[in-house]
Amino acid sequence: MNTEGRKSGISLFGKPSPSPLLISPTGLNGLLHHRGDIALAKAAASAGIPFCLSTVSNATLEDVSTEAGGRLWMQLYMMNDRNIARDIISRAEKAGYEALIFTTDANVFGRREWDLRNYRQPGKLTARNILDIALHPRWVSDVMIPHGIPLFENVLDYLPAEMRTVKGGVVSLPGMLAPDISWDDLRWIRDMWPRKLILKGVLNVADARQAANIGCDGIILSNHGGRQLDSCVAPIEVLPEISQAVGEQLTILIGSDVLKAIALGADAVMIGRPTLYGLAAGGQAGVEHALALLSEEIDRVLGQLGCHSLQQLNSRMLIKNAP
């Protein structure tokens, strides 16, 4: 079968994109590389794909817009003080962000025991981790010297003065998240935000339909990277039924195996860890390399499946319920 001239492009919210990939919102990127959020956004802009900035980023949303450009999306946590959300929404609109992502799948934090094992007390690393830092002088010279540990720039003004360090922010922020978010909050956001609105954390058809009814433009099927609730359903397990129910009304995003997800009904795929690995290893160039590897793999698998484009993928190419 002739598979020359393969194309991996998609249309995302009415705009062409050369790849089905988006860079997910992640926090503390400045700990991996100095100005890590800027490096990620620049790499995304270079690749022509959207970059999603976290509420708890280490660069302001204005700096990312000014220094990186490209297709920028803003992720929003709902805090107990709703004025924080109002402020971020207003700033993101003024800075030209294309879309707003309202996150609902982590407002009550999991225990994250793997994080706890790295600290002897809040903000104080174990001796093993201190030794590990000493073995990475390039990271120390990039992040720690002369810049110091980065801060949570987007919400800095809302933290108590004594808690504006990274240690203070890490301790304070989980308690600032609103545990009582509801559909009324989504309606409130929809009324304020004039551009594309995406609800993150959907894992069932009923919630997907409600998001569509309220006026969302897209949804992200997510269990927050599997880092919160051990027994939570995997997004790709519920993707087919959600796609069948609301695929004509909503753009469906997911973080998973790229071609499998698209074959099951996703419109695009969000990635976090691969680009963070690239960021830690090589800054912006490392992120660009990670994206290039993924794009090459997407193209190769399309050819191996006998497809010329992502639009030719379908669920019949997957083996379901295999023994």
Catalytic residue set: 224
Determine whether 175 is exposed, middle or buried from the number of CB atoms within 10 Å of its CB (0-12, 13-18, 19+). exposed
Cis peptide before 25 (omega within 30 of 0): no
Q: Do 65 and 96 contact (CB within 8 A), yes or no?
A: yes
How far apart CA 90 and CA 92 sit, in angstroms, is 6
Q: Do 98 and 72 contact (CB within 8 A), yes or no?
A: yes
Alpha-carbon dihedral 253, 30, 59, 121, rounded to 10 degrees: 100
Task: Report the Cα–Cα distance between both ends of the chain, in Å, rounded.
Answer: 30
Rounded to 5, what percent of the chain is helix, strand, coil? 50, 15, 35
How far apart CA 155 and CA 159 sit, in angstroms, is 7
Q: State the residue for tokens 């390399």.
A: 289
Residues 6+ apart with CB under 8 A from 188: 82
In terms of DSSP H, where are the helices of the chain? 36-47, 61-67, 82-94, 113-116, 127-134, 137-139, 166-176, 183-192, 205-214, 235-246, 258-263, 273-304
Q: Do 287 and 39 contact (CB within 8 A), yes or no?
A: yes
